[in-house]
A and B are shown apart, each in its own frame.
Chain A
Amino acid sequence: MSSHAPVKPTDITIPDTSLWAKLPAIGGVLAVIGLGSVLGMAGGDNRARAMFSYLFAFEVFLGFALAALGFLLIDTVARAGWSVVVRRISETMAATLPLFAVLFLPIVLIGYHELYPWTHEADAVLDRKRWFLSDGFFMGRAVAYFIIWSILSWTMYRGSLANDVTDSKVEREARVRKLWAVGAAGVILYALTQSFAAIDWVMSLMPHWYSTIFGVYFFAASVQAYFALMALVAMGLQRAGVLKNAITTEHFHDLGKYTFGFTIFWAYIAFSQFILIWYANIPEETEFYIMRTHGGWAPISYALPVLHFFVPFFFLLSRQVKRKRAGLGLGAAYIIFMYLVDFYWLILPNFKVEGAHESHFHIVWTDIAALVGMGGAFFAAFAFLLKRNKVIAINDPRLNESLVHENY
């Protein structure tokens, strides 16, 4: 119950003068320059290093898009009402997933052998895994993931867009019920494809090593960062004069709670993976942490629990911080930075200079260029789709519930 009645927002399209309207062009240019230079490097002597930069940036932004789809599906299945005012952000971000099918091509066309040792190495262990880690099956799975993600995200996205222009209430409610069914099936498909994609594209960088929690680790890290990104995007949209009254402190508070909750979830999952490996102390499992405590990686390994868990945990613990734009914005930006560190730490230790016996922590310019380029492509697609449509599901049957939403 609140003292105000819902007011249907009217600031629901992105103004032509705002930065969001120019983002497709800016992002496109950054994508061409950034990814072009990284792939240019990959064509030269430093192919492996450049492709590791590329894979790192690819997984970071794929993480965002996948987390957007995951949140959207869970939100739909839970029939959440509070999130309607910010749901179009998730829908649009998830709708960028087909783009990643194109961005995935360089990984198989250029960096395949440099990134994945199982493509050319052979030993007793790898021979037993060959049925799973084989060219045909690997490619087939990748195609399946992208088809499933594209169908799911675009079904949700187009269904929601169709409701924007449907006048009949009965028809709109029927469509929402249909999307609930899609969401229920989608959650299961999502959990499987997301986990297997993480195993295929990141865990198989170390084909001898295995961790059954790896898919969840990828999910926890990316969803945590996604909620932070969602809060920042919502703030950015309001700055551009969109949804100024529709998204309130209450919605930001909820996004903050999600960010906070998944901060704990990430730590729980990361520690669960660590303690089993530490306690059992079996060589084929400890390899993962041994690689990450040598060659300059150790400081990052020790810093992650503190900087990726304790610092954001205590920072976001207070209700007052989450309810202030400056507090939440700072926390969100910090968490996204730690997400980059986490994924860098996950992927880059697999790169070794030719002939070296261990990996060395060394940031090169292609890491930055790949991030900028991939981010440019991702945000260009996101802003392009967002500009074409209303930034809020204006005819959603639960819009009023969301507009007057209050935390108790």
Chain B
Amino acid sequence: MTALEKTPRIWGLLAQYEDPHAIYKACEKVRDEGYEAWDSCTPFPVHGLDKAMGLKPSRLPWIVLCVGLTGSTFMLWFQTFAMGNLYPMIVGGKPLFSLPAFVPVWYEITVLSSCVTAFLSNWILSGLPAPHHPAFNSKAFERVTDDKFFIMIESQDPKFDLEKTRALLQSTGATTIEELAS
């Protein structure tokens, strides 16, 4: 090895678990150690894992509520303004401001703006789309969509120390531990 060649930088550690009970306990332990830059991957939703990981409640509901209410208010105003000022037209002998006639569109736009916001915000908050991830370098990780459970701790976590973190994962009952190249 020449002086110019560095050891390849480690992205993080990937630990494999065999069942949901094991990863649940392991997550609680990693959480209690105070790690922040880490994640868990499971083949199906494991109920309560968010609590075991110590995840904070998502901001998504508040974003959806705000945009939903904005869309709702805008559409009600827009229909009133368009029917009353921009293009006043009597339809079916009803007054220009006919709230019942506005309700379906008002309601649909509330739902539409909420849904689109929920969808897009979910992608943005989750960091999607992500065509590549260091975990994809691991052969074992392919089974995350089948029957294996994984925890990965990133090296950028301030508490990350290759040996100590490895020992921690070992103590949580991980069956294999891999180093992930970045």
Residues of A within 8 A of B (CB): 1-3, 271, 274-275, 278-279, 281, 317, 319, 406-408
- A274 partner residues in chain B, CB cutoff 8 A: 100
User: Quick check: B48 and A279 within 8 Å, CB to CB?
Assistant: no
- CB-CB nearest in chain B for A2: B48
User: Quick check: B100 and A408 within 8 Å, CB to CB?
Assistant: no
Picked from A1, A319, A408, the residue with its CB within 8 Å of the CB of B24 is A1
- CB-CB nearest in chain A for B49: A1
Residues of B in contact (CB 8 Å), total 17
- B92 partner residues in chain A, CB cutoff 8 A: 279, 281
User: Quick check: B100 and A2 within 8 Å, CB to CB?
Assistant: no
- A317 partner residues in chain B, CB cutoff 8 A: 65
Give Cα A406 to B49, complex, Å: 11
- A408 partner residues in chain B, CB cutoff 8 A: 45, 47
24 of the cross-chain contacts (CB-CB < 8 Å) are A1-B20, A1-B21, A1-B46, A1-B47, A1-B48, A1-B49, A2-B47, A2-B48, A3-B24, A3-B48, A3-B52, A274-B100, A275-B100, A275-B101, A275-B103, A275-B104, A279-B92, A279-B100, A317-B65, A406-B47, A406-B48, A407-B47, A408-B45, A408-B47
- B48 partner residues in chain A, CB cutoff 8 A: 1-3, 406
Interface contacts beyond A1-B24, A274-B100, A408-B47: sample of 5 additional A-B pairs, CB < 8 Å, sorted by A:
A1-B47, A3-B48, A3-B52, A271-B103, A275-B103
Majority SS of interface residues in chain A?
loop
Q: B43-102: which have CB < 8 Å to A?
A: 45-49, 52, 61, 65, 92-93, 100-101
Give Cα A271 to B24, complex, Å: 47
User: Quick check: B47 and A279 within 8 Å, CB to CB?
Assistant: no
- B65 partner residues in chain A, CB cutoff 8 A: 317
- B46 partner residues in chain A, CB cutoff 8 A: 1
Q: B1-36: which have CB < 8 Å to A?
A: 20-21, 24
- CB-CB nearest in chain A for B92: A279
Give Cα A2 to B93, complex, Å: 60
Give Cα A349 to B45, complex, Å: 52
- CB-CB nearest in chain B for A271: B103
Closest chain-B Cβ to A282's Cβ sits at a distance in Å of: 12
With contact pairs A1-B48, A3-B48 given, residues A279 and B101 touching in the complex (Cβ less than 8 Å): yes
Closest chain-B Cβ to A222's Cβ sits at a distance in Å of: 23
Kindly list the 6 A-B residue pairs having the minimum CB-CB distance in the complex, ordered from nearest: A406-B47, A1-B46, A1-B47, A1-B20, A2-B48, A278-B100
- CB-CB nearest in chain A for B28: A3
Give Cα A275 to B93, complex, Å: 15
Closest chain-B Cβ to A403's Cβ sits at a distance in Å of: 13
Give Cα A278 to B93, complex, Å: 11
- CB-CB nearest in chain B for A305: B103
- A407 partner residues in chain B, CB cutoff 8 A: 47
Closest chain-B Cβ to A65's Cβ sits at a distance in Å of: 32
Give Cα A275 to B99, complex, Å: 10
- CB-CB nearest in chain A for B101: A279
- A319 partner residues in chain B, CB cutoff 8 A: 61
- A279 partner residues in chain B, CB cutoff 8 A: 92, 100-101
- B21 partner residues in chain A, CB cutoff 8 A: 1
- B52 partner residues in chain A, CB cutoff 8 A: 3
Give Cα A129 to B106, complex, Å: 39
- A406 partner residues in chain B, CB cutoff 8 A: 47-48
- CB-CB nearest in chain A for B65: A317
- CB-CB nearest in chain B for A317: B65
Give Cα A281 to B103, complex, Å: 17
Give Cα A408 to B21, complex, Å: 16
Give Cα A408 to B45, complex, Å: 8
Give Cα A271 to B108, complex, Å: 14
- B61 partner residues in chain A, CB cutoff 8 A: 319
Give Cα A40 to B39, complex, Å: 71
Give Cα A369 to B4, complex, Å: 94
- A1 partner residues in chain B, CB cutoff 8 A: 20-21, 24, 46-49
Closest chain-B Cβ to A287's Cβ sits at a distance in Å of: 17
Q: Which of A1, A274, A407, A408 has the most CB of B within 10 A?
A: A1
- A278 partner residues in chain B, CB cutoff 8 A: 100
- A2 partner residues in chain B, CB cutoff 8 A: 47-48
Q: Which of A278, A281, A319 has the most CB of B within 10 A?
A: A278
Q: B101-145: which have CB < 8 Å to A?
A: 101, 103-104
Give Cα A344 to B98, complex, Å: 27
Closest chain-A Cβ to B146's Cβ sits at a distance in Å of: 18
Closest chain-A Cβ to B39's Cβ sits at a distance in Å of: 17
- B24 partner residues in chain A, CB cutoff 8 A: 1, 3
Closest chain-A Cβ to B180's Cβ sits at a distance in Å of: 26
Closest chain-A Cβ to B8's Cβ sits at a distance in Å of: 36
Give Cα A321 to B79, complex, Å: 33
- CB-CB nearest in chain A for B61: A319
- CB-CB nearest in chain B for A275: B100
- B49 partner residues in chain A, CB cutoff 8 A: 1
Give Cα A278 to B98, complex, Å: 10
Give Cα A274 to B100, complex, Å: 8
Give Cα A407 to B100, complex, Å: 37
Closest chain-B Cβ to A302's Cβ sits at a distance in Å of: 11
